[in-house]
Every structure is written in C-alpha cells, then in structure tokens.
Amino acid sequence: MKRKAKIITLAMVILIAIVALGSAGYVRYQANRTPVTSQRQTVQHHSKKVSIIGKWEGTKKYPDAQAVKIKLTLNRDNTYQLVEENTVSQCWTRTYTGTYKRSGKTITCIPNRVVVATYSSKTALKAHQVSATDTVDKAQFYKQFGNQQHSKITVHQTWMKIDHDHEQIHLTKL
C-alpha cells in the first residue's frame, strides 16, 4: 500500500510539472504571435562619432621592416600639420603645413609649406640626426611632388583614410 501511494504521488508531481511547463510554453508562444497595437516599439542605436579635430596617426607597412607613417594634426582654425615619415628604400620625412577644407565626409589638405629632411639610416631617423634639410617653395610643389600636392581624407565613423603621395593609409585618433 505504501509503495502504491508513493507511485501515485510521484505520478501526480510529474503530471503537474508537465502541465506547468506546457502552459508556460503556450503563453510564450501566444506572446510571440500577439501583434503590438497599443505600444510603439523603437530601437535607438547610439553610435560614437569622433571629432576630426586633434591628432591622428597611421602606418602602411612594407616588407623588410619598411614603412610609411603619417602623423596628422587638424586644428579648429582649419590649419593642419602632416608629417610623412618614409623608410621605404630611403629614410626621409616631409612636414606639410597649410589649410584644409571639409566638404561632407571629404577633407582636402592644401599645403603652404613643405620641409623635407633626409636621414642616413633608420637609426639616424629615430635619433633625429638629420643629414640634410630643405624647404620647398609653394611655386616648386608641382615640380617636386607632381600631382600629389593635396592630401584627400575620407572621414569614417571613428577613423579616417588618407590618400597622400600615392599611399592610402588608415588613420586612428590618438
């Protein structure tokens, strides 16, 4: 008799559990099928946009530990400074200063002055031991640099891409 009572009690507990789980699943199923008529559901996406004003940097790497590194500073008064450090076949830097114009997602940097410094090696470049330096007049830009006088920058959500001196480099904010 006691054994029969235990079996009946166990069967009742299992039956109650099955009914409870089944009704919970039915309620969830009905909730998914019920159209929202009285409430308005909106989803807000917050995206972080970075100000272009400030310091940016990017590097394009080549084989044999060679690279082109760009350091760009954009100021509020629409002036800029771009330092291009090149260790591909020769070691040199060019420092461009001038003004920039923004139109939508595009920035055009127009140099007024370019200072070129050459170095004997990568070690000399890191130690800032300049072999020779030259300032290029604005009238000589085309002769010295061809069509790559202006830098074109495309602004993205949190980064920028610069097209400068036949290089396309991804810039991140410092």
Q: What is the pLDDT of residues 113-172, one digit of tens each?
A: 889 999 999 999 999 999 999 988 777 776 766 656 688 999 998 999 999 878 899 999
pLDDT of amino acid 19 = 74
Q: From start to end of 42-156, where are the E strands?
A: 54-62, 66-74, 79-86, 91-103, 106-119, 132-136, 151-155
Pair 97, 79: CB distance under 8 Å: yes
Question: What CATH number does the domain located at 54-173 have?
Answer: 2.40.128
**pLDDT tens, position by position, 43-83:** 565 556 678 999 999 999 999 989 999 999 999 999 999 99
Q: For 25-41, what is the mean pLDDT? A: 57
pLDDT of amino acid 26 = 57
pLDDT of amino acid 93 = 94
Integer CA distances (angstroms), 110 to 13, 100, 113, 150, 172, in order = 81, 6, 9, 5, 21
Using only the alpha carbons of the chain, give its radius of gyration: 33
Among 102, 49, 94, smallest CA distance to 76 is for: 102
Cα gap 30→37, rounded to integer Å? 15
Measured distance between the N- and C-terminal CA atoms of the chain, rounded to whole angstroms: 81
Q: CA angle, corner 121, sides to 138 and 65, nearest 5?
A: 100
pLDDT of amino acid 39 = 56
Give φ, ψ of 94 to 5 degrees.
-125, 130
Q: Which residues does residue 80 pair with via DSSP β-bridges, in sequence order?
A: 74, 98
pLDDT of amino acid 12 = 80
Q: Which amino acid is at 58?
A: G
Question: Any idea what DSSP says for residue 137?
Answer: P
